[in-house]
Chain A
Amino acid sequence: MIAAAVAATAAEIAIPLLTKSVIDGAIAHHDRALLIPLGLAAIGLGAATAALNLVRRWVQGNAVANMEKTIRDDLYGHLQRLHASFHDDWQSGQLLSRATTDLSSIRRFAGFGIVFLLISVLTFVAVTGLLIRLNWWLGLITGCMFVPVLMFCTRFERRYKVLSRRVQDQEGDLATLIEEAATGVRVLKALGRGRESAAQHDAQAVEVCKTQVAKASLLGSFWSVLDLIPNAAIGLIVVLGAIAVTHHALTLGGLVAFITLALQLVWPIEALGYIIASGEEAATAAQRVLEIFDTEPEIKSGHTERALAKRGPGGWDLPPGRGVTGGSSPGGKQGRLWFDHVSFSYPKSHQPVLRDIDLQLEPGETVVLAGATGAGKTTLLQLVPRLADVTGGAILLDGTDIRDLPLPWLRAAVGCAFEEATLFSASVRENVLFGAPDASDDEIEAALTAAQARFAFRLPWGLDTRIGEQGMALSGGQRQRVALARAILARPAVLILDDPLSALDVHTEEKVTRALGTILAGTTALVVAHRPSTMALADRVALLDGGVIAATGDHRELLATQPGYAALMMMEEVSA
């Protein structure tokens, strides 16, 4: 590719030399015959330039597209593996602008910038050399005239860098506002707050606009100076060249060739301006992208290989006979979950959310976590699949610290259904199959039936109907039921359910609760619930209050002994 670029440049530079021969040879000596080979040579060189450039661009275009794709894929993969709290802290617009705008700047520079840089430096050196050969002092003067251009470019570069970084940041912030408005459009509509949101958007858009205008006026002076200097040089060459011609230091054809060649210096200089600008942008962009790559996932996979990993002969596929709606954990020994004096606080916060949680779940036991809003129930659940790590103590699964287990293994062993059911843009079938890719159609049907999600069969394309962001919109209750079916089908060793029935109507909830009762019989489960009805599932209830476990025990027992618990469960005010 570089060879092609160099050869093409050489061929292009040679053409003005033919001009010199035409004027000084053919024309000066009235030699018509000489014109034919010279004309043909010019055409030949021209064709070669074109062919070589085609090769160069073709190769380069493919390489660059592949490079961008590789970086984008890596960035995406890396982001997926970064801890959830990273994503809480980062505005998603900022992440998006790194994956799109920034990568495009890098591609633009890698695609054109680097090769242009090479070609323009090469052209500059070669052309200056040729000019010096034509007439040494005129050549030197011409070469020197372009030196201030480089200094000017460097100054420009510094100022441009500041502005382009500012634009990128401002556009990132704007993208965040746009994303919020797009995803929260129902709320904005319901409250009629379109105007305020628009005002906020406009204010940020005006900032972007201001910086862009400043950038444009900087570019304006840059381009005008880049026009001024080469043209002034040519004017000077004509005057000085005329003197040289008078003194027979240069032929007339030599002067024409000199000017055409000097014109070829303009392009590399202008390209240099473009390269500097895009190089700066690419450097800023690369810095921003590297910022993400440099962030290490805080939650790292452990390495303890556990025999426990095999629950059945086919990995997670359980022995046949254990239907979705019945059966017990094989061997009855797996799934002992122990919160060993666990505490947790958010980064940069001194107030612990959870303190000294000591709770042991026997295999197959179902513990329901009760507690007021904000007591830390959801936080506690998120610690089990390691969406966040404990800041004190440890969580042990069958005696092993979960931080020592391989992440994929742990997350296969722990199944979740969150209250805010996230479904992906895929078919219902694929969404349900996440946890158990090899499940049969019968098993899927059983899981959907248990979760009261048989409505899925009545969707336009049945189980193959695409749902999620890019597909059919389901209601909150429907989403919850599909997500629950997903968790059930995975038949994990430990099931984590965070208020998974909140969006269901009473009838459906009752049916799901009944089905869950059978399923949970053999599975260790930690369930967050607000409703007395769900308490029926519990072998034991743990009351979480102010980040500590205030009491554990039977539902009725706690009702009788714990006024705090009674207050949580009774609609009527308790006065005790």
Chain B
Amino acid sequence: MTADAAWRGIATEQVDEVTTGLAALLRRRSRLLLADLLRPHRRGVAWIAAAIVVSSLAALAGPWLVGVAIDNGIPPLIHSGDPAPLLRIAAVFAAAVGVQAVTTRMFVTMTGRVGQSVVLELRRRLFRHCLRLPVAFHESYTSGRVISRQTSDIEAISALFEEGLDSLISAALTLLLVGTGMLLLDWPLALVVLGGFVPLTWLTGWFRRESVVAYRRIREANALVIVHFVETFGGIRAVQAFRRERRNDAIFDGLSGDYADASRRASQLIAVYAPGISLVGNVITGVVLFYGGLRVIDGDIRVGVLATFLLYLQRFFDPLQDVAQFYNAFQGAGSALEKISGVLEEEPSVPEPAAPAALPSRGSAAAEPSRGSAAAEPSGGSGVVPRPGASGRQVRFESVRFGYRETTVLPDLDLDIPAGQTVALVGETGAGKTTIARLMARFYDPGEGRVLLDGVDLRDVPDRVLRREVVMITQESFLFGGSVAANIRLGRPGASGDEVIAAATAIGAHDFITALPSGYETGVGKRGGRLSAGQRQLISFARAFIAAPSVLVLDEATALLDIPSERLVQAALRTVLAGRTAVIIAHRLSTVAIADRVLVLRNGRIIEDGPPDRLLGGDGEYAALHTSWAASLA
């Protein structure tokens, strides 16, 4: 059980050769996922199954009818000139052909429809799951992998439904039906054919084993190619400025070489497997010609039966060749599904509460009756900042212990921030400031102890509610492709144009935005590349302000602003933070001036705590920091 647990989730991704037990586990995981995805389409799958069975039966009727025609249709025509039996057989043949055409069409179309719905559902689940997974997961799994799971892996599965699945199913079915048909026609000759199953099974077993490994390698190599590709072009300016092109060429050449090696290996497997199948088929054809001929001469069977056998043999082995062709699509989809199911199996380490607790209503219930649903956010009227009745919530850390891997960042933190208070965290890098911020925003859960929002453990607050109440702005101001307005509106979808402008005006971004070519509708370019870092920062501020949360966490959010912008933001903060709870982390002590209370941290412990004026008057850490900071302004 513990051995199994170690292979949970994404841990298997780096493994090339997997033990049989593990392979079975992975297959089971994929199968469970697939079964789960197919469940809503039970009826469709039943129809598809019916269509493929009918279609295969109709396809098999052909050769049998040819044999019947030779044995029972042609002799009367030759001997008595009676065309009736032959025409009857021809009519049945025509009907079979018609049925085959109709059912094939049904099968392909419906497979496409069901398959694509499954792919769509998988895309949805995966995207949502990735968003739910904690920041810690994304930091270790990297965005390149997340992207390749959702693009190339999903596309591999989609390709299977597009081109591979029908041949795979019909080949399996044909094998079964043709075998049965042959046994019914002439069992000694059929046994000769079925004897070919021995080398066939062996060959297929070998191919399966080898190609599972080969395709796993292909996927992993492909993911690395994608990661490197995304990284390069995400930071193309640095690449060019540091003449990283050649080194990158070399790295990419290596990765792409690994990928080429992996796909070469896979194509070599097929190069052996497909001719191997046709060898078995051809040898058996030779044996059937010889032994069947003998049986015809001995009068055991008629010529028509031999003809049927020969025609069946073609249908028997040819589809297997197709299978080899599509086996890679199948395998690719299989290993893609294994990885996707691995990601889906990763438990969010900051899970949604099983029994969500309600937060006490904020401020006076009468002032904000609509707080309960996201859709009914107050809109229009008063504008955004400041919102009347805005009130903060109390935040408490109770004996919180937290560490990353072996290093403990917060040994034992007790902290009480009353509702409406603005607290500044001060201290050197590594003192634990950002960790406190991230714990408040529940990017992580504490190892021990609790973080409480108005007395409710954050772990009991549904994500939807938490994100409305607590908003964190960091120095990393990521903008999404789209307009400036759309990026601000991210803080509160449904905000009116006036509200967006009000928010931007409040933090002093309005002027530069209106100076852009299309004002608020200007596209910001990929990741906001058309704007300067300070401009992006202002927009992400506007985004947080329009969200109007009860607790605002600013982690170095003003670091990239120039002084006039910072001044504007600070003036805005005074109004915005009024009544709200806020935690500010800033290296520039100017920001601290608006705080009601300053906490000085060292090695995860609070060493000074008090209003800025009082601390300034003393001779502690803060006073010293402030002196050196003031000196830097001169």
For A305, what are the chain B residues with a Cβ–Cβ distance below 8 Å?
Answer: none
CB atoms of A77 and B249 under 8 A apart: yes
- Return A570 CB to nearest CB of chain B, in Å: 7
Binds B, one of A46-54, A124-132, A135-143, A331-339: A46-54
* C-alpha gap A220/B51 in the complex (Å): 12
| Cβ-closest chain B residue relative to A194 | B131
For A206, what are the chain B residues with a Cβ–Cβ distance below 8 Å?
Answer: 120
CB atoms of B240 and A197 under 8 A apart: no
Q: Does A469 count as interface, using CB distance less than 8 angstroms? A: yes
Among A68, A91, A228, which residue has its beta carbon within 8 angstroms of that of B260? A68
CB atoms of B264 and A65 under 8 A apart: yes
For B111, what are the chain A residues with a Cβ–Cβ distance below 8 Å?
Answer: 216
Answer whether A185 and B131 are a contact pair too, CB < 8 Å, given A57-B271, A101-B152: yes
Q: Does B422 count as interface, using CB distance less than 8 angstroms? A: no
* C-alpha gap A58/B50 in the complex (Å): 39
Among B119, B271, B310, B441, which residue has its beta carbon within 8 angstroms of that of A61? B271
For A290, what are the chain B residues with a Cβ–Cβ distance below 8 Å?
Answer: none
- The total number of A-B Cβ pairs within 8 Å is 523
* C-alpha gap A509/B412 in the complex (Å): 30
Q: Does A295 count as interface, using CB distance less than 8 angstroms? A: no
Q: Does B399 count as interface, using CB distance less than 8 angstroms? A: no
CB atoms of A191 and B543 under 8 A apart: yes
For B270, what are the chain A residues with a Cβ–Cβ distance below 8 Å?
Answer: 57, 61
- Return B431 CB to nearest CB of chain A, in Å: 9
Q: Does A449 count as interface, using CB distance less than 8 angstroms? A: no
CB atoms of B281 and A46 under 8 A apart: yes
For A242, what are the chain B residues with a Cβ–Cβ distance below 8 Å?
Answer: 69, 73-74, 77, 86
For B242, what are the chain A residues with a Cβ–Cβ distance below 8 Å?
Answer: 411, 416, 434-435, 486
- Return A453 CB to nearest CB of chain B, in Å: 11
Q: Does B226 count as interface, using CB distance less than 8 angstroms? A: yes
Q: Does A249 count as interface, using CB distance less than 8 angstroms? A: no
* C-alpha gap A458/B523 in the complex (Å): 42
Among A180, A197, A213, which residue has its beta carbon within 8 angstroms of that of B116? A213
| Cβ-closest chain B residue relative to A25 | B293
Binds B, one of A30-38, A147-155, A356-364, A517-525: A30-38
- Return A237 CB to nearest CB of chain B, in Å: 9
B-facing mask of A395-433, CB < 8 A → 1, else 0?
A: 000000000000010011010101110101100000000
For A303, what are the chain B residues with a Cβ–Cβ distance below 8 Å?
Answer: none
* C-alpha gap A111/B270 in the complex (Å): 12
Answer whether A65 and B77 are a contact pair too, CB < 8 Å, given A505-B428, A568-B564: no
Q: Which of B243-262 contact A (CB under 8 A)?
A: 243-245, 247-249, 252-253, 256-257, 259-261
CB atoms of B589 and A506 under 8 A apart: yes
CB atoms of B93 and A238 under 8 A apart: yes
Q: Which of B506-543 contact A (CB under 8 A)?
A: 512, 515, 517, 525-527, 529-535, 538, 540, 543
* C-alpha gap A91/B562 in the complex (Å): 30
* C-alpha gap A101/B153 in the complex (Å): 11
CB atoms of A372 and B562 under 8 A apart: yes
For B236, what are the chain A residues with a Cβ–Cβ distance below 8 Å?
Answer: 80, 84, 87
Q: Does A464 count as interface, using CB distance less than 8 angstroms? A: no
For B303, what are the chain A residues with a Cβ–Cβ distance below 8 Å?
Answer: 23, 27, 252, 256
Q: Does B230 count as interface, using CB distance less than 8 angstroms? A: yes
CB atoms of A35 and B290 under 8 A apart: yes
For A77, what are the chain B residues with a Cβ–Cβ distance below 8 Å?
Answer: 245, 249, 252
Q: Does A310 count as interface, using CB distance less than 8 angstroms? A: no
Q: Does B194 count as interface, using CB distance less than 8 angstroms? A: no
Q: Does B41 count as interface, using CB distance less than 8 angstroms? A: no
Q: Does B173 count as interface, using CB distance less than 8 angstroms? A: no
CB atoms of B563 and A201 under 8 A apart: no
Binds A, one of B272-280, B363-371, B385-393: B272-280
CB atoms of B533 and A499 under 8 A apart: yes
CB atoms of A532 and B467 under 8 A apart: no
Among B87, B232, B240, B429, which residue has its beta carbon within 8 angstroms of that of A411? B240
For A234, what are the chain B residues with a Cβ–Cβ distance below 8 Å?
Answer: 62, 66
For B143, what are the chain A residues with a Cβ–Cβ distance below 8 Å?
Answer: 179, 182-183, 185, 469
Q: Does B345 count as interface, using CB distance less than 8 angstroms? A: no
Q: Does B565 count as interface, using CB distance less than 8 angstroms? A: yes
CB atoms of A216 and B109 under 8 A apart: yes
Q: Which of A185-204 contact B (CB under 8 A)?
A: 185-198, 201-202
Among B128, B526, B544, which residue has its beta carbon within 8 angstroms of that of A87? B526
CB atoms of A532 and B634 under 8 A apart: yes
* C-alpha gap A22/B562 in the complex (Å): 93
Q: Does A73 count as interface, using CB distance less than 8 angstroms? A: yes
| Cβ-closest chain B residue relative to A348 | B517
Among A50, A264, A508, which residue has its beta carbon within 8 angstroms of that of B279? A50
Among B62, B117, B307, B567, which residue has its beta carbon within 8 angstroms of that of A231? B62
For B544, what are the chain A residues with a Cβ–Cβ distance below 8 Å?
Answer: 191
Q: Does B605 count as interface, using CB distance less than 8 angstroms? A: no
CB atoms of A419 and B112 under 8 A apart: no
Q: Which of B193-233 contact A (CB under 8 A)?
A: 222, 225-233
CB atoms of A58 and B561 under 8 A apart: no
* C-alpha gap A100/B117 in the complex (Å): 24
| Cβ-closest chain A residue relative to B307 | A256
Q: Which of A86-132 contact B (CB under 8 A)?
A: 87-93, 95-97, 99-101, 111-112
CB atoms of B235 and A422 under 8 A apart: yes
For B238, what are the chain A residues with a Cβ–Cβ distance below 8 Å?
Answer: 416, 418, 422, 424
CB atoms of B283 and A215 under 8 A apart: no
For B473, what are the chain A residues with a Cβ–Cβ distance below 8 Å?
Answer: 190
For B256, what are the chain A residues with a Cβ–Cβ distance below 8 Å?
Answer: 69, 72-73, 76
| Cβ-closest chain A residue relative to B132 | A194
CB atoms of B234 and A92 under 8 A apart: yes
Answer whether A183 and B233 are a contact pair too, CB < 8 Å, given A19-B289, A88-B525, A469-B143: no
* C-alpha gap A260/B634 in the complex (Å): 96
Answer whether A73 and B532 are a contact pair too, CB < 8 Å, given A35-B293, A239-B90, A503-B559: no
Answer whether A215 and B562 are a contact pair too, CB < 8 Å, given A53-B278, A80-B245, A422-B238: no
Q: Does A146 count as interface, using CB distance less than 8 angstroms? A: no
CB atoms of A23 and B268 under 8 A apart: no
Binds B, one of A320-328, A440-448, A472-480: A472-480
B-facing mask of A250-268, CB < 8 A → 1, else 0?
A: 0010011001100110010
Among B139, B144, B158, B161, which residue has its beta carbon within 8 angstroms of that of A473? B139
CB atoms of A228 and B263 under 8 A apart: no
CB atoms of A192 and B268 under 8 A apart: no
Q: Which of B579-634 contact A (CB under 8 A)?
A: 587-590, 625, 628-629, 632-634
For A212, what are the chain B residues with a Cβ–Cβ distance below 8 Å?
Answer: 112, 116, 119, 158, 162
CB atoms of A228 and B97 under 8 A apart: yes
| Cβ-closest chain A residue relative to B562 | A530
Q: Does A543 count as interface, using CB distance less than 8 angstroms? A: no
CB atoms of B289 and A267 under 8 A apart: no
Q: Does B17 count as interface, using CB distance less than 8 angstroms? A: no
For B296, what are the chain A residues with a Cβ–Cβ distance below 8 Å?
Answer: 27
* C-alpha gap A43/B480 in the complex (Å): 65
B-facing mask of A156-195, CB < 8 A → 1, else 0?
A: 0000000000000001001110111111111111111111
Q: Does B22 count as interface, using CB distance less than 8 angstroms? A: no
Answer whether A179 and B230 are a contact pair too, CB < 8 Å, given A224-B108, A373-B535, A424-B235: yes
Among A36, A61, A184, A216, which residue has its beta carbon within 8 angstroms of that of B113? A216
Q: Does A385 count as interface, using CB distance less than 8 angstroms? A: yes
Show 12 A/B contacts (Cβ-Cβ < 8 Å), sorted by A: A62-B267, A80-B239, A88-B526, A171-B151, A220-B106, A227-B97, A259-B66, A418-B238, A424-B235, A470-B142, A506-B587, A507-B428
- Give 5 closest A-B pairs by Cβ, nearest first: A192-B467, A216-B112, A46-B282, A61-B267, A39-B290
With contacts A187-B476, A530-B561 known, what are 14 further pairs, Cβ within 8 A?
A26-B297, A65-B260, A66-B260, A92-B526, A100-B222, A183-B234, A186-B476, A190-B472, A193-B467, A224-B101, A256-B306, A425-B227, A473-B139, A506-B587
